[in-house]
Structure 1
Amino acid sequence: MRPVNPRRLKDGQVSELVVASHDGETIEVIYETGDLIEAPNWTPDGRWLIYNADGRLFRISPDGSIGPSRINTAPVENLNNDHVVSPDGHFLYASANDGHLYRVSVEGGEPVRISNTHPPERGFRYYLHGISPDGRMLAYVGLETGTGETMTRVFLIPSSGGKDVALTDGSSPVDGPEFTPGGEWIYFNSEQGSSAAEHAQIFRMKPDGTAVEQLTFDDRVNWFPHPSPDGRLVAYLSYPPGTTGHPADQDVIVRTMTPDGDAIREIERFNGGQGTINVASWSPDSSRFAYVRYPFR
């Protein structure tokens, strides 16, 4: 189930796993490595951060004192940086570079594929981002390339496997769908209504795809909204104006805002992007969240 993520750090570059307070008053590097690590995600019991590296998953304590240690997912060892933890803390769900979704015990074990097989001519791939508060549904981006053009849509699928249900129509590129803690909204980024190609902003919609609302309107390119467990804040990644997609090694800003898009606050600016904060990364008590910086030494 290889090859793995072809992206590597550049000469003189490191990964810094950061834990920041919700207001940015405290920012601490809890782990530094010369390897590429991506997408930290907090377990519901608050004991661990789980991140991706070289196609595999690892756990480390939030203060960096224990770990990192590998979570065995063999033979599926080509996981990308899209993974979530079930609300009961028993399972991990992850996307793999073969285009499918898998479930595995949080302690490790042989993964079970839960995604569907689509006709090869569709070029359909699953990119996981969210799980419903009751753990029953997964929110993912379905990427289709079979027509020669790229189309992305937000979908839901039962976490036990089942029918794929599209929530968006593919007319605008989308990414990063994630449920609010009460399950009443799905936050995501979209180019809907953008006057410039690939100029993503933050949106939300009901879990049935209705009541779509745009929440950010600035000239930056905004990705990956993550509602806090207490419902008070949304963290997201903000790229410089004119950025195409969500690449690595950009002058990014991690920001927070209130759920309606107000009170935008800059937490930190640094070299980052792809891998920084792709998945939900809030602590269970909403006091802190995690992300990865990629500075050059």
Structure 2
Amino acid sequence: MTQDQVHRGRTLRPGQRAELWIAEPAAGLAERVAEYTDLLIEAPNWLADDRLVVNGDGLLWSVDIGSGELSPIPFEGLPPINNDHVPHPDGATILLSANDGQIYRAPLAGGRATKITDDPDTAHYLHGVSPDGSELAYVELPRGQFGVPGRLAVLPVAGGERRLIDVGDGHCDGPEYAPDGDWILINSESFTEDPGHAQLARIRTDGSGFERLLASDRVDWFPHLAPRGDLACYLSFPRGTQGHPADHPVELRVVRSGDWTVPIMDLSLYGGQGTINVNSWAPTGDRFAFVSYPLEDDPTTRTVTVLDGPRRDG
């Protein structure tokens, strides 16, 4: 891989494709809506105007759900981005983590990006914006030191002093506000001494009430609540997985937010990194988007299966 590829993000392996899917938990269905053989897309966000945005090759792309057509969104003053991006509640702008380690805000229609953080020694991985649009949540760690546990931080969107929230000594990731604004959901390694054993948790925005949402033998990442707060989905890796790697057999599980122990939908697929790093629920709260990455020469990777339920290919 060239230095430019490292800077701009992952690329598809030979014989690999990126498939965009939409799951509808109430119907127990998952439908493939598009596939791409020349661009590795990641991390869908669902916008209020019923289109998606994804990142790929360091850019943000708009996706027409009906046709799957991709259109790059032209930004000025924005370095190549990664798969941590969150639409702002104003419906007009989006917050983005760039590969220079900083967080930016930019118009969804395209235009000049504004830098929110400006600390070259710290990497900022954005995952959440508060429902009122005033504050964002991210994970920070020293730039280039991926062996150091990430710390949960919140920062005014307008800029200013950041505040650290104590969630223990273990690495945390994926901080995302609940729709009521009272809680931040994360995955955390603070509940176990097993290396990399991430578990789902939440903490109040004032730093109190840190609690585990699910005690699991698997490695669970990226809890995403639906807009009504009634449903949630998360990404589950096999036990012993370190981090959230790409190209693994994983499960996407959907639960009712009042009981995280019983999945109401369980999807088996080949993916991981890029599948669902950020919240991809539709504004109506009945569907969510995700990405799989099948390999042509490996039949075991080519199917998204709704476990104990139907499946429909697009």
Q: TM-score range by the shorter chain?
A: over 0.9
State yes or no: 1:9 paired with 2:28: no
- 2:247: which partner in 1? 249
Per the TM alignment, residue 184 of structure 1 is displaced from its structure 2 partner at its CA by 1.3
- 2:44: which partner in 1? 40
Taking the aligned partners of 1:248 and 1:66, their CA distance within structure 2 comes to 23
Give the TM-score normalised by structure 2: 0.88
Equivalent pair of 2:25/2:264 in contact (CA under 8 Å): no
Q: Per the alignment, do residues 262 and 209 of structure 1 end up closer, same or farther by CA in structure 2, a change over 3 Å counting?
A: same
Equivalent pair of 2:79/2:100 in contact (CA under 8 Å): no
Taking the aligned partners of 1:187 and 1:148, their CA distance within structure 2 comes to 21
Equivalent pair of 2:93/2:107 in contact (CA under 8 Å): yes
What CA deviation, in whole Å up to 9, does each residue of 1:86-127 have, x standing for no partner? 112110100001000000001011111001326x4xxx1100
1:123-272 aligned within 5 A: 124-144=122-142, 150-168=148-166, 171-260=169-258, 261-272=260-271
Taking the aligned partners of 1:147 and 1:82, their CA distance within structure 2 comes to 18
Q: Per the alignment, do residues 148 and 212 of structure 1 end up closer, same or farther by CA in structure 2, a change over 3 Å counting?
A: closer
Q: Per the alignment, do residues 24 and 246 of structure 1 end up closer, same or farther by CA in structure 2, a change over 3 Å counting?
A: farther
Equivalent residues, number: 290
Give the TM-score normalised by structure 1: 0.92
Q: Which runs of 5+ in 2 are unaligned?
A: 297-314
What CA deviation, in whole Å up to 9, does each residue of 1:234-270 have, x standing for no partner? 1100001110000001110000122242432343101
Q: Which runs of 5+ in 1 are unaligned?
A: none
Taking the aligned partners of 1:74 and 1:279, their CA distance within structure 2 comes to 23
Equivalent pair of 2:28/2:265 in contact (CA under 8 Å): no
State yes or no: 1:60 paired with 2:44: no
What CA deviation, in whole Å up to 9, does each residue of 1:177-227 have, x standing for no partner? 001111111110000121310100000110122101101111110000000
Secondary structure at the aligned position of 1:151 is classed as coil
- The worse-fitting range, judged by mean Cα deviation, of 91-100 and 74-83 is 74-83
Equivalent pair of 2:231/2:257 in contact (CA under 8 Å): yes
- The worse-fitting range, judged by mean Cα deviation, of 237-246 and 170-179 is 170-179
Equivalent pair of 1:145/1:151 in contact (CA under 8 Å): no
Taking the aligned partners of 2:133 and 2:190, their CA distance within structure 1 comes to 29
Amino acid at match of 1:92: I
- 1:72: which partner in 2? 74
Per the TM alignment, residue 66 of structure 1 is displaced from its structure 2 partner at its CA by 6.1
Amino acid at match of 1:93: L
Equivalent pair of 1:202/1:222 in contact (CA under 8 Å): yes
Q: Per the alignment, do residues 146 and 30 of structure 1 end up closer, same or farther by CA in structure 2, a change over 3 Å counting?
A: closer
Amino acid at match of 1:176: G
- 1:103: which partner in 2? 105
Taking the aligned partners of 2:147 and 2:233, their CA distance within structure 1 comes to 31
Taking the aligned partners of 2:142 and 2:105, their CA distance within structure 1 comes to 22
Per the TM alignment, residue 62 of structure 1 is displaced from its structure 2 partner at its CA by 2.6
Identity %: 41
Per the TM alignment, residue 145 of structure 1 is displaced from its structure 2 partner at its CA by 5.4
Q: Provide the alpha-carbon RMSD of the alignment.
A: 1.8
Equivalent pair of 1:248/1:274 in contact (CA under 8 Å): yes
